[in-house]
Structure 1
Amino acid sequence: MAAGTGVEDGFTNDIMSGGEHEISQNSDHLNQLDMGKPPRHLSVVRHSISTATLLTPTDPNFDLGIVGVKSASDGKSEYMPMIRSGSCAEKGPKEYMEDEHICIDNLLEHLDRTEGFPSPGAFYGVFDGHGGTDAASYVRKNILKFILEDSQFPGCLKKAIRNAYMKADQAFAENSTLDVSSGTTALTTLVFGRMMVVANAGDCRAVLGKRGRAIELSNDHKPNSTSERHRIEQLGGVIYDGYLNGQLSVARALGDWHMKGPKGSACPLSSEPELQEILLMEDDEFLIMGCDGLWDVMSSQCAVTIARKELMIHNDPERCSRELVREALKRNTCDNLTVIVICFSPDPPPWIEIQTQTGHRRSISSQGLNFLKGVLDGNS
């Protein structure tokens, strides 16, 4: 479906206001300080780097010997996800709140025309702003519109989303009412039937919980990472003390036009996202989307373990997102915090059964899961 879907500025404002209401409610629950918004034209554009220890993710080959649940890996299953989500955003120890986010569990409800749209359809985004909130706010309000209006949508989702990121970046640069030197990372997830597309530019992260295992669906675009360093240096950029051109701790972002060249020119700071497209299976339980304030103090596997334990207890993705934020605050994160938890089933995650060497099956209790969490976290 191309343009004419009824997604205009009024539509985006209506949707986004719901996200802001969720932020307010979640802040009340946590009894944190009111989230301050920074004034425009802040001169400082460097991200703060957490002094907390970044925990090493567990070996991706780690296996609990999970048994007893039929997999839809052959792609022929008639399984269809049932989408629900919850979110939490907190200022944390920083002076200003520069994160933005969006949660749309039923995209079809917001469209005038639904031809070509499978059910379910959902859209989520986490935008970690820096140098003010103009870039994060603009992208949050407009990125979905650019996706839906792209000529490649819905035939080629990955191309449509990639094009939308680039168009949003250019449109922001051309808006004379905004501070175009502000910037934002952008992590989005589009669910389209059983297909899920995750797009990322920056250091937010999306992690899939798959029967207790953490599967990372995005890469952290840090200047010091091997692939990003090579790209930056090929385009004439430099890295000082982990910062791109001595200014930004991310290698990809939208906005930051004081660091970019003329329209259409390649530059070390890229707004092009990396994308992952997966077919959702029955053992895909939930997705965690979080800004770097979460991942600075928590490994992907630890977050999945905590989230799965919480969902088994109360089956509420909003409470689950609040618990992840609480845990990050306990671990002394130095940044804003935004977390979205997206569940793919109306039921809580099932008990995990493990096959022992003697052939006996044992269920892991809540106490066992807490212990496992501690082991994975390195703090047991």
Structure 2
Amino acid sequence: MRTTRKGSVEMPAFVRQLVKETEKRVSSFFKVGGRGGAEHMQGEGEEVIPSPYLDRPVLDKLTEEGCSRWGLTYALGSMQGWRANMEDYHNCVPQLGAGLADWSFFAVFDGHAGNQVAQYASQHLLNQVLATGGIGPEDHPDRVRGSFTDGFLHTDKHLLTAARREGWERGGTTVTSTLISPRYFYFANCGDSRAMLCRAGQVCFSTEDHKPYSPLERERIESAGGSVSLQRINGSLAVSRALGDFSYKGAENRPPTQQMVSPEPEVCVVERSPGDEFLVLACDGVWDTVSNEELCAFIRSRLRVCTDLRDVCSQVIDLCLYKGSLDNISIILVCFPGAPQLSAEALHQEAALEDLLKSKVAEIYEELSSQGEDPDLLSVLTVLANTDVPGLPPGGGLQSKRNCIISAYYEKKEAHNPTTPNVSVCIYIKLSQLLYQYYVISERVSIYAQSLNSSPYLSPGAWCFTVLVHSVNSSPYLSPGAWCF
């Protein structure tokens, strides 16, 4: 049982990301014989390694919510972010079938080298676990543990057949999952996605990440004929347990659980309590930027000011993005009756904080302008990051209020340099931010259509162009290096 991510407290999140990606690039460099890695044109007929990142992030979010008949509520959110492809999948089943209607299942699948394995596992893992016959109303922990392990191994076995048929041998996926019974939480984790339980305001439990440099994992890898360098298996794969990744599972005379990459989950059982508040399952795109304690504190603070769990998930995703996450970002939030509730006092404090931020942005803008500068957003953010701002959300800090800061910046910029078209631009930038944060795509289309006919400054065509350019591709969404203040 663990509640902190070891070795990550002192190092800033964005530095950890740079180290992580530098290791990957160095590995690629040696694989191509020192000829320039991903950027090197290797000659006619030779493969060029594509960049895993986009020039600007894909910010559209997939959200979902639901509930069970016994008081559980949940929401999920996911975003492609800076990655060239979306490789995360999920499975949310708030009520299982006949005989298990008071049981729930949630899982996050973080694919790599393609999304096919993650998609396959999200569709078949639960059925394989239930097919073992060890899960029933009697709720016996030892039998459920065995069913989880067998279900993972059976899924991996069937996946091998599909992978050979479809050409997915290089792909793989991590899995973090939780089966909730009336009495227990059953956590089954395979890889470096993570599940965390918050109880009575504290992190009660979190799963262990399976990394090649962990002593027990390294021992198995080396016994199977592999090595650990650059904190990766054979200098390449950054996780030591996963479904798929069959190129690392070919050691002869060794069972599946003793290969370099093992499909065996680590299964933990935690007894439920009236103090249980919420459960989080998320990929490493979340955990690379926030610790268990930070995320627990941040979500607790958001539950006191938000009634929509989808909004809470969206704010977590934004926080991770602004703290420097370069990966796909996916989170499932499961709340229980003991979760923090909406608070009038917290709402008042939140409003006061946003007023304070707006005033500080205005002060900084005026100060920079008085020095003969035309302050850009990054300059204002940099100064604000070194300013004392009381009352920031615990675990989130200044990054969690970045959308508020962006809006305040453009309001001040327009007030300082007023022009008729820019008033409209500012209005629609803020409108777009709100639409992207709070409305699903179908609702956005309707609201956009109504707004097209009401602009006092822009024609419909100019409005479309302005909103698309400014709300998606312009300065509010800076280069990767600018996400950290």
Of residues 157, 164, 174, the one that matches 1:170 is: 157
Q: Is the 8 A contact 2:276 2:338 kept in 1?
A: no
Q: For residues 226 and 372 of structure 1, what CA distance do their matches in structure 2 show?
A: 34
Of residues 117, 121, 127, the one that matches 2:103 is: 121
What are the equivalent positions in structure 2 for 1:1-380 lying under 5 Å apart? 82-107=71-96, 111=97, 114-115=98-99, 117=100, 119-154=101-136, 155=140, 156-175=143-162, 176-261=165-250, 264-265=255-256, 266-345=258-337, 348-349=340-341, 370=392, 372-373=394-395
- 1:268 offset after TM fit, Å? 1.5
Q: For residues 49 and 242 of structure 2, what CA distance do their matches in structure 1 show?
A: 16
**Counterpart position of 2:421:** none
- 1:336 offset after TM fit, Å? 0.5
Q: Is the 8 A contact 2:91 2:107 kept in 1?
A: yes
Structure 2 gap ranges (5+): 1-46, 54-68, 344-348, 354-389, 400-483
Secondary structure of 1:318's partner?
A: helix
Q: For residues 221 and 341 of structure 2, what CA distance do their matches in structure 1 show?
A: 42
Secondary structure of 1:174's partner?
A: helix
After superposing the two structures, state which structure 1 stretch, 219-228 or 341-350, moved more: 341-350
After superposing the two structures, state which structure 1 stretch, 339-348 or 298-307, moved more: 339-348
Q: For residues 145 and 350 of structure 1, what CA distance do their matches in structure 2 show?
A: 37
Q: For residues 338 and 173 of structure 1, what CA distance do their matches in structure 2 show?
A: 26
**CA 244–106 in structure 1, closer or farther in 2 if over 3 Å, else same:** same
**CA 268–214 in structure 1, closer or farther in 2 if over 3 Å, else same:** same
Q: For residues 374 and 89 of structure 1, what CA distance do their matches in structure 2 show?
A: 18
**CA 86–44 in structure 1, closer or farther in 2 if over 3 Å, else same:** farther
**Counterpart position of 1:14:** none
Which protein has greater RCO, CA pairs closer than 8 Å, 6+ apart? 1
- 1:245 offset after TM fit, Å? 1.5
Mark the structure with the bigger radius of gyration: 2
Give the structure with the higher percent helix: 2
Q: For residues 104 and 237 of structure 1, what CA distance do their matches in structure 2 show?
A: 38
Q: Which amino acid aligns with 2:77?
A: C
- 1:47 offset after TM fit, Å? 9.2
**CA 370–105 in structure 1, closer or farther in 2 if over 3 Å, else same:** farther
Q: Which amino acid aligns with 1:170?
A: K
**CA 317–178 in structure 1, closer or farther in 2 if over 3 Å, else same:** farther
Q: Is the 8 A contact 1:199 1:276 kept in 2?
A: yes
CA RMSD of aligned residues (A): 3.1
**CA 44–281 in structure 1, closer or farther in 2 if over 3 Å, else same:** farther
How many aligned residue pairs are there? 288
Q: Is the 8 A contact 1:172 1:255 kept in 2?
A: yes
Secondary structure of 1:93's partner?
A: strand
Describe the superposition over 1:249-292 as per-residue Cα deviations: whole angstroms up to 9, x where unpaired: 00101001112126835312111000111111111100111100
**CA 178–45 in structure 1, closer or farther in 2 if over 3 Å, else same:** farther
State the identity as a percent. Answer: 28
Q: Which amino acid aligns with 1:130?
A: H
- 1:305 offset after TM fit, Å? 0.8
**CA 43–158 in structure 1, closer or farther in 2 if over 3 Å, else same:** farther
**Counterpart position of 1:359:** none
Secondary structure of 2:198's partner?
A: strand
Q: For residues 148 and 88 of structure 1, what CA distance do their matches in structure 2 show?
A: 26
Q: Which amino acid aligns with 2:266?
A: E
**CA 249–158 in structure 1, closer or farther in 2 if over 3 Å, else same:** same
**CA 219–47 in structure 1, closer or farther in 2 if over 3 Å, else same:** farther
Q: Is the 8 A contact 2:176 2:194 kept in 1?
A: yes
**CA 142–43 in structure 1, closer or farther in 2 if over 3 Å, else same:** farther
**CA 100–44 in structure 1, closer or farther in 2 if over 3 Å, else same:** farther
- 1:231 offset after TM fit, Å? 2.8
Q: For residues 201 and 132 of structure 2, what CA distance do their matches in structure 1 show?
A: 36
Q: Which amino acid aligns with 1:264?
A: P
Secondary structure of 1:268's partner?
A: coil
Q: Which amino acid aligns with 1:307?
A: I
- 1:236 offset after TM fit, Å? 2.9
Q: For residues 150 and 49 of structure 2, what CA distance do their matches in structure 1 show?
A: 29
- 1:208 offset after TM fit, Å? 1.0
Q: Is the 8 A contact 2:76 2:333 kept in 1?
A: yes
Q: For residues 47 and 188 of structure 1, what CA distance do their matches in structure 2 show?
A: 27
**CA 311–223 in structure 1, closer or farther in 2 if over 3 Å, else same:** same
Describe the superposition over 1:192-236 as per-residue Cα deviations: whole angstroms up to 9, x where unpaired: 113111101000011111122123421011111233223323333
**CA 203–139 in structure 1, closer or farther in 2 if over 3 Å, else same:** same
Describe the superposition over 1:40-81 as per-residue Cα deviations: whole angstroms up to 9, x where unpaired: xx9979999xxxxxxxxxxxxxxxxxxxxxxxxxxxxxxx96
Secondary structure of 1:334's partner?
A: coil
Q: For residues 283 and 307 of structure 1, what CA distance do their matches in structure 2 show?
A: 16
**CA 44–99 in structure 1, closer or farther in 2 if over 3 Å, else same:** farther
**CA 247–229 in structure 1, closer or farther in 2 if over 3 Å, else same:** same
Q: For residues 260 and 299 of structure 2, what CA distance do their matches in structure 1 show?
A: 36
Q: For residues 100 and 304 of structure 1, what CA distance do their matches in structure 2 show?
A: 23
- 1:83 offset after TM fit, Å? 1.2
